[in-house]
Amino acid sequence: MAGVNAATTEKQAQPFALSWRAKAGLIAVLVYAIYAASQLGFSWERFEAGWELGARFIGRLFPPSIERLNILWQGIAESLEIAILASTLGILLSLPISLLGARNLMPAWATWPSRAIVALCRALHPVIVAIIFVKAVGFGALAGVLALTVASIGFIGKLFTEAIEEISLKQVEAVRASGASFANVIIFAVMPQVFARFVGFATYQLDSNLRNSTMVGIVGAGGIGGTLFSAFQRFDYDFVCTILLTIIAIILMGELLARMIRAVLLDNVSLGELLRRRGKTTFRAPAGDDV
């Protein structure tokens, strides 16, 4: 008995103790990281040169240019339209795909195709998908909307499916026992359990699409990305700085808007009360906000 108590005390004293296999694995990863760094041509001289060139580049960014603001606003407006349309389409399409992919609600013949669609949408980076759509439908915002819709289905579909699979089936069984239809089971037993996480995932995806709309624009899929790429090609760095500052401001405004949406939908705060508070109240974040 004393030996068992001593072993238990030792385990409690080392709650994160690793086995020799785990230690060997960590050492192997560290050794491979050192080997990979040696194969990629890293050197201290390159870092020193990079600091000097980076400081020179940052110096050329300031002061920001306030010329050609009409071009800037056109690109920003198009990026916002692309992000909102892609987020809306992606969320609407992800809901049925997620329900079909939930293994606790659907049979295997329905879950596997749905999960395959989500995996396919997640397989490629949005820029690669944007290049494909630019080749298919031509340059412009349509290619950007389609590319970000595919990316949204891959991200939102996976998270929605996992959230549905984590629900308590007791509520589902209780609603089914009342003779409710499948649609009522989804509305009254499934959605109340996952609604908060769905809102968090959706607002995060909108924020992500605002950023990604800049990247897909670089390959010709519309938005401010094309304007940014053209400014880089002209070495017009002061205008580049203006574009970057505008993008940062939009992302911050998007975060504020996401907090307002969560407050209205999850905390039952009216829009008038929300405006009166002026951000003084800290709103409860949903469980999916840490994704």
CB contact at 8 A, 79 and 210:
yes
**Does position 197 have pLDDT exceeding 70, yes or no?**
yes
**Does position 288 have pLDDT exceeding 50, yes or no?**
no
Share of the chain above pLDDT 90, in %: 11
pLDDT mean across residues, the chain: 81
pLDDT of 22 reads 82
**Does position 9 have pLDDT exceeding 80, yes or no?**
no
Average pLDDT over residues 236-257: 85
CB contact at 8 A, 46 and 192:
no
* Measured torsion, CA atoms of residues 118, 124, 127, 133, in degrees rounded to the nearest 10: -70
Residue 271's CB is within 10 A of a number of other CB atoms, namely 10
- Give me the residue label for tokens 């009522």: 184
Q: Identify the burial level of 153 via C-beta atoms within 10 angstroms of its C-beta, where 0-12 means exposed, 13-18 middle and 19 or more buried.
A: buried
pTM score above 0.85 = no
Question: At what angle are helices 224-233 and 191-218 packed, to 10 degrees?
Answer: 30
String of DSSP letters for 189-256: IIHHHHHHHHHHHHHHHHHHHHHHHHHHHHTTSSSHHHHHHHHHHTT-HHHHHHHHHHHHHHHHHHHH
Is the model more confident about 282 or about 115? 115
60's tokens: 């050329």
- Report the distance separating Cα 8 and Cα 12, nearest Å: 6
237's tokens: 């760095």
Residue 152's CB is within 10 A of a number of other CB atoms, namely 28
Is the model more confident about 264 or about 114? 114
Nearest to 213 by CA among 119, 127, 93: 127
Architecture per CATH, 77-290:
Orthogonal Bundle (1.10)
What secondary structure letter does DSSP report for 289?
A: G
CB contact at 8 A, 217 and 229:
yes
**Does position 86 have pLDDT exceeding 50, yes or no?**
yes
Cα dist from 28 to 19, 22, 24, 32, 39, whole Å: 14, 10, 6, 6, 16
- Report the distance separating Cα 138 and Cα 131, nearest Å: 10
Confidence of residue 277 (pLDDT cuts 50, 70, 90): low
CB contact at 8 A, 218 and 144:
no
Q: Is-cis flag, bond preceding 64, omega within 30?
A: no
Confidence of residue 16 (pLDDT cuts 50, 70, 90): low
CB contact at 8 A, 171 and 195:
no
**Does position 235 have pLDDT exceeding 70, yes or no?**
yes
pLDDT of 287 reads 47
pLDDT of 5 reads 54
- Report the distance separating Cα 1 and Cα 5, nearest Å: 6
**Does position 15 have pLDDT exceeding 70, yes or no?**
no
CB contact at 8 A, 175 and 182:
no
- Report the distance separating Cα 252 and Cα 279, nearest Å: 14
- Give me the residue label for tokens 């709309």: 213
**Does position 243 have pLDDT exceeding 60, yes or no?**
yes
pLDDT in tens, 142-167: 999 999 999 999 988 888 888 888 88
pLDDT in tens, 26-80: 899 999 988 888 787 777 787 777 888 888 888 888 888 777 788 888 888 888 8
